[in-house]
Structure 1
């Protein structure tokens, strides 16, 4: 009889074969995990609510800057016989010319500015000179308010001798509004708060 020997063929352990399959499993697993992350909605999304007070800011100006801002706004209204100029020196002064009996006459007003409770600016008239005449404040303001177009945000009260600048009604770009906080002429300090409506 023949001896049958069983010969076993022993396979050699090939590391590259197993590393290849490990790489394939990792690629498939990574793709599945990445797809799961990409397709799962993010539940923890938080939206910060911005209140109008978060968008407020302060602007501090000096006399020269206030005069420049006033010149900028008054350019729109300086047409024809109406010419205005607002200057802050020791007092607030409004200069201009108006027609009296068909003739242009220069005028000047000395004003004392103050901040109202709601952030507007009130100008109290100290004196008015038309030409070389010092006239009663209520008479000139009354004639001025009826004879001339003033912006919507300017109110003239001839009885009390005041001019109110309603800063809340001045339409700035994209809903920007301003309110006065401090008007201090002797210390050259003018502070305004800005924000969005």
Structure 2
């Protein structure tokens, strides 16, 4: 018994409808995953100018690498996503991005730019996510929304940078830290640390 041409055409139409629905669902999921969202930059907090003594501290990339990653390990201890930051010729962030239940390696490099107030801006230079080609903004949005970050680090996808508010770091003894020099090429990392008088008992 043979199918009529009309029946064959109906089956073809149904087949393409199913294909179209599946494609729409997949595209919709990808679009939602990388949907841009507005940057949120909290207003700066004005803190009282407490009297204290300033010290200048010099470090190396190796020492700072160890310090930073010990801190990040503690920060991401109870989260499924962990990442590392390393200082070489530039600042490099390594982690993973979850796509369709697969972990794809993420490597992003940033150029550090010192600010007059003692903070740092990390301007994105390049990004590699396995063999995927994704917009830089979408990747930074994923990092911002999924990677555990200290409250004094802001990820700004629209500007393709990260703002490291070193001056807003919270320490147990209320030390205030500023970047004085951040030269990765010459391995010169210099900070000023202001110790409040109350820490000395006066």
Check whether TM > 0.5. Answer: yes
1:127 aligns with 2:117: no
Residue by residue, what CA displacement relative to the aligned partner does 1:71-97 show, whole Å, maximum 9, x if unpaired?
Answer: 121112333431111111122111112
CA contact (8 A) 2:111 2:124 kept: yes
Partner Cα distance (1:98, 1:142) in 2: 11
Partner Cα distance (2:191, 2:133) in 1: 33
Partner Cα distance (1:131, 1:65) in 2: 29
* 1:2-81 equivalence runs, <5 A: 54-79=52-77, 80-81=79-80
CA RMSD across the alignment: 1.9
Residue by residue, what CA displacement relative to the aligned partner does 1:121-150 show, whole Å, maximum 9, x if unpaired?
Answer: 111111111123343321211222233442
- Partner-residue secondary structure (3-state), 2:127: strand
Q: In the alignment, what sits opposite 2:93?
A: 94
Structure having the higher Rg: 1
TM-score of the two chains, using structure 2 as the length reference = 0.66
Distance 1:114 1:152, change over 3 A: same
Q: In the alignment, what sits opposite 1:47?
A: none
TM-score of the two chains, using structure 1 as the length reference = 0.68
RCO higher in structure (CA 8 A, sep ≥6): 2
Partner Cα distance (2:154, 2:190) in 1: 22
Report the alpha carbon displacement of residue 54 of structure 1 after superposing the two structures with TM.
4.7
Q: In the alignment, what sits opposite 2:102?
A: 103
Q: In the alignment, what sits opposite 1:24?
A: none
Residue by residue, what CA displacement relative to the aligned partner does 1:164-188 show, whole Å, maximum 9, x if unpaired?
Answer: 1111221112111211111111111
Q: Which runs of 5+ in 2 are unaligned?
A: 1-48, 197-202
Partner Cα distance (1:59, 1:196) in 2: 12
Q: In the alignment, what sits opposite 2:140?
A: 141
Partner Cα distance (1:196, 1:134) in 2: 47
Partner Cα distance (1:193, 1:170) in 2: 13
Residue by residue, what CA displacement relative to the aligned partner does 1:2-41 show, whole Å, maximum 9, x if unpaired?
Answer: xxxxxxxxxxxxxxxxxxxxxxxxxxxxxxxxxxxxxxxx
Q: In the alignment, what sits opposite 1:194?
A: 193
Q: Which runs of 5+ in 1 are unaligned?
A: 1-50
Partner Cα distance (1:129, 1:89) in 2: 17
